[in-house]
Every structure is written in structure tokens, then in C-alpha cells.
Structure 1
Amino acid sequence: MTGPPLLALRGISKRFGAVQALKDVELEVHRGEVVALLGDNGAGKSTLIRVIAGVDPADKGVIEWEGRAVQIRTPQAAQHLGIATVYQNLALCDGLDVAENLFLGRERRFPGTLGRLFRLMDKGSMRREARRQLDGLGIRVPDVRAPVASLSAGQRQTVAISRALLGAPKVVLLDEPTAALGLQQAGHVLDLVDELREHGVGVILISHNMGDVKAVADRAAVLRLGANNGLFHVPTTPQDRIISSIIGAESNP
């Protein structure tokens, strides 16, 4: 791939007390690329995501953004750069409707006195923008006024991803986005990942589902015991070789 990666991790290490969670991890993500982040339980995948998202800053190493070294020590710093994260628990509010969830924390208010003094939300504007966003991504949600509690698990997942995309991020981190979904619902989420790639967004996808990885990932980076244990070109690498790297039967530093 030409040009510097959107995001590059160089020698990232993270310790929690006596536990070395990450050790000298390397990872790159380019524009329009889906990188699957794989590993057994305890391999360090979620810790690495939290490092990138600014939740648990690295103890050592360098993070590069579009070819320059940056500091990501808070979630706000990650968002400012253009990094969005969708965690496995989704963090949606069941009592709010779809549009309100999309704009949670960045609500639009009426201009002038109504917005400034009375802090009235411009729900019409939010609903129109929510509809435009969902339609543009091909997300099937019939009514943006519907409470999130009434949606299927697949629809909830796509709403969470859509919320992350409102700020037009350049890199999206997805933590097990299809883990609790049926085949059809998972297919909708994977279609959305393909849409992100087509729009030039870099995606880091944590998944235990090798079918999902084979369906959408360009490369797979394997972590084992907090360290790199393989980097594979997914379309041309046999699945059993990637699995061998995950379980430690094969070492590919």
C-alpha cells in the first residue's frame, strides 16, 4: 500500500501491576482496509483497543497518525484525531429513540433563545440527519423515532456503529460486532463493514468468528500473550494456519 498508514502502533506495551498485558505490539491500518485483530481470550485484544481509544494509554511505544507521532491519552483525544470505537456492550439508551441515541452527548438545539436559554433540542433536525445517515449506509431501521429497546439485536448493533460514524471518523474500532447476532443480522453488520471500506475508512475488527474474518478482512493480526504472533493476508492464507497462530501451535512474530 502506498503512503503512510492512517494509524500505526510501534512497540506498544501496557502493564497492569504484575501483569504484562501488551509487549512491543506492532500494528498498521491503511485507508479503506479492514484489519482483523485476533487472539485467544487474554491475548490482549481488548487492551489494545482501549489503548488506541485513549481509555488506557500505553506505558511505552509510539502511536503514529497519518505518519506523525501523536499522544492519545484520553477518549476525547482519539475522537479529535478521527478514531471511533464501538464496544461490545454498545452503550445505547433503551428509553431513547434511534435519533436521540445517534446524537447522545452532541444533541442539536434550536438556534437563538430557545436553544441558548431553554436548551430545547431540535429533534426534527436530528431525525432528518439520522435518517440521512442510516439511508446512506444502507442501514435498515424503519423509523428513527422508534425506541432502541424495540429494535432487534442486529439493528441495535448497526445503530451503535452509525452513531460512531456521525463525526466522520477515519478509523473505526469494532469489538466483536457480530458476537450476539444470528446469521442474517450478522450479514447486515458485515455489509456495513464493507461500506466503511468503500468509503475509505480504516477498520480494526476484533472477532472470534473466522467466517466473518474471511468475509471482510484484508489482513489479520494475531496477538498471543500480549505480543504479536502473526500477520496474514487473509484472502490467500489458509484458515488453519491463522488458527494455529491464535492457539500457539505456530509462531509467526
Structure 2
Amino acid sequence: MSTSTSSTTPLLSLRGINKSFGAVHVLKGVDLDVWPGKVTALVGDNGAGKSTLIKGIAGIYSFDSGSYSFEGQQVEVTNPKQANALGIEVVYQDLALCDNLDVVQNLYLGREATSGVILDETTMERKATETLKGLSVRTLKSVRMKVSSLSGGQRQTVAIARAVLWNSKLVILDEPTAALGVAQTEQVLQLVRRLADAGLAVILISHNMNDVIRVADNVAALYLGQMAAQVPSESLSHGQIVELITAGRSGDLGLKAPDKEVVA
């Protein structure tokens, strides 16, 4: 866990978020706070609403109702460009990397630096190297390596580096350790922790409770479209997180138990 200090004011604050697709009510009055310098683990079973919530934060979907505040100001985010302008970057599970391009070209894909009408390869390579060095990435021999030659952990590292290259303030990571081996998972988790220690706000989506307990400062558990609880991870056990995910409550923590019907 991080020992660094961070702001007591959330960078991102959602209140009463609702989202429906036709007759299906996917998000139901969701509240969420994300702080700079902290890793917030967003957990929930398949169909709990995690992807919809993240895509709403990223501007891919528009929320139907509720308030969206960033850096203490209520904002309207209805497309990805608006989210990017705020400093929000998402690393999706498929990483969206181009195997035929090298690391530098992937980091700058669609946002290339130019000098007049010519690509400024020198500046891009220098900034790419600085970004990776700043993240303490030592597993890449060269920023000119083709992505096709990289391991799964190295690919994840490149995708995360691309997210932080653009002065981002909030980085959302969707299952960053899925399908990685033990050593590669360790490298990625260390990188996630370094992002928060550098002052960024991080949302980590994961089904791996060991990863969650290892790096998260707080846990936000979604259950059938509702936020069951958001609490500091140090106060939760592995079993309690699982209960919040599968039942929406654990003891006195979580959603209120439904009233029992009285049989006359």
C-alpha cells in the first residue's frame, strides 16, 4: 500500500448515476469517488455494470441522469474527446496496440508530433524514453522494438505508458493482469502502484482479488447495477469482497437486505 499523501478531495465524484439501454436499467443511482494518489479497485460480477460505468466516465456513453464532477467542478462528458481533455485515459483489455508498429509509434498513434509537415521522430523517441523511465520500466530493451516481439506484460506496459504520456490525471485500467503469468503480473502491479504514488488517480477493474488486495487503497463493489459499498481495502478481507460481489452485502456492510415478507 502507498504511504504517500494525497488530496482528501476526490478527483472524480459521481452521484446518483443512472443508465438504461431500452428496458434494461444497467446503472441504478451509482455513487463513486476516485482520489488522486490512490488506486480505486472497481469490482463486480459479470453484468454488474462495471463496463457501462467506465464507458460513461470515458464519454463513450452518456449517463441518463446524475452528477459528474471532476476536480471539484460539475462537468458534461458526452464524448471521449471531452474526457481526454479533462485528463482521463482508459487502457482497455484488448490494449488496442498495432503489432506492426514499434513502441514509439504506438505511444503516439493518432497524436504524432510534427515539425512542419514532417514527423518529429526525435522528439517522440525522447519523450517516449522519458515516460518509460519515469515509470521505472526496465523490461524494454529499446523503444524501437516492434510490439509484435513483446511479451504480454511488456504490451500492457506500453499501453499504460501511452495513457500517461498525455498529462493524464485519471487512468482507468481494465483487467490489466488478465492472461499474464506470475512474473508479468508482478511487473504490471508494481507499475499500477507507481502510477498512484506519482499522484495519478487510478481505477483498477479486476476479477483477481489477490491483485485488488495487493495494490488497491479502496474497493468499490458493484452489484446488479448498484454500488454495494466503497470502503478502504485495509478494512476488507478477501471473503468480504467476494460476498459484496456475489450478494451485494457482507454482514452489516453493503446494500440493505430485502424486507422479509410476512405470511399471514
TM-score (norm 1): 0.94
Amino acid at match of 2:23: A
Mean CA deviation greater in 182-191 or 2-11 = 2-11
Partner of 2:202: 203
Tell me if structure 2 keeps the 8 A contact 1:53–1:84.
Answer: yes
> Residue 194 in 1 paired to residue 193 in 2?
yes
Tell me if structure 1 keeps the 8 A contact 2:68–2:75.
Answer: yes
C-alpha separation in 2, matches of 1:231 and 1:84: 22
Partner of 1:61: 66
> Residue 242 in 1 paired to residue 241 in 2?
yes
Partner of 1:28: 33
> What are the equivalent positions in structure 2 for 1:165-204 lying under 5 Å apart?
165-204=164-203
Tell me if structure 1 keeps the 8 A contact 2:217–2:233.
Answer: yes
Partner of 2:111: 106
Deviation at 1:124, TM superposition (A): 2.1
Tell me if structure 1 keeps the 8 A contact 2:7–2:37.
Answer: no
Partner of 1:149: 148
Partner of 2:99: 94
Tell me if structure 1 keeps the 8 A contact 2:37–2:200.
Answer: yes
Partner of 2:76: 71
- 1:25–1:190: structure 2 CA closer, same or farther, 3 Å change rule? same
Superimposed CA distance per residue, residues 42-96 of structure 1 (whole angstroms, 9 cap, x where no aligned partner):
0000110000000011011010111111001010000101111100110111111
C-alpha separation in 2, matches of 1:49 and 1:78: 11
Tell me if structure 2 keeps the 8 A contact 1:10–1:24.
Answer: yes
Mean CA deviation greater in 52-61 or 119-128 = 119-128
Partner of 1:127: 125
TM-score (norm 2): 0.90
- 1:71–1:238: structure 2 CA closer, same or farther, 3 Å change rule? same
Superimposed CA distance per residue, residues 116-174 of structure 1 (whole angstroms, 9 cap, x where no aligned partner):
xxx32122221121111111101121111111111001000010000011111111111
Tell me if structure 1 keeps the 8 A contact 2:18–2:29.
Answer: yes
Deviation at 1:30, TM superposition (A): 1.0
Amino acid at match of 1:168: N
Partner of 1:136: 134
Identity of aligned residues (%): 51
**Runs of 4+ displaced beyond 2 Å:** 1-4
Please report the RMSD computed on the Cα atoms of aligned residues, expressed in angstroms: 1.2
C-alpha separation in 1, matches of 2:28 and 2:248: 20
Mean CA deviation greater in 129-138 or 243-252 = 243-252
Aligned to 2:160, the other structure's residue is in SS state helix
Tell me if structure 1 keeps the 8 A contact 2:170–2:200.
Answer: yes
C-alpha separation in 1, matches of 2:7 and 2:96: 36
Deviation at 1:197, TM superposition (A): 1.0
Q: Alignment length, in residue pairs?
A: 246
Mean CA deviation greater in 155-164 or 134-143 = 134-143
Superimposed CA distance per residue, residues 184-207 of structure 1 (whole angstroms, 9 cap, x where no aligned partner):
111111111111111111111000
Unaligned runs of 5+ in 2: 1-5, 256-264
Deviation at 1:241, TM superposition (A): 0.9
Deviation at 1:210, TM superposition (A): 0.5
Deviation at 1:3, TM superposition (A): 4.2
C-alpha separation in 2, matches of 1:57 and 1:228: 19
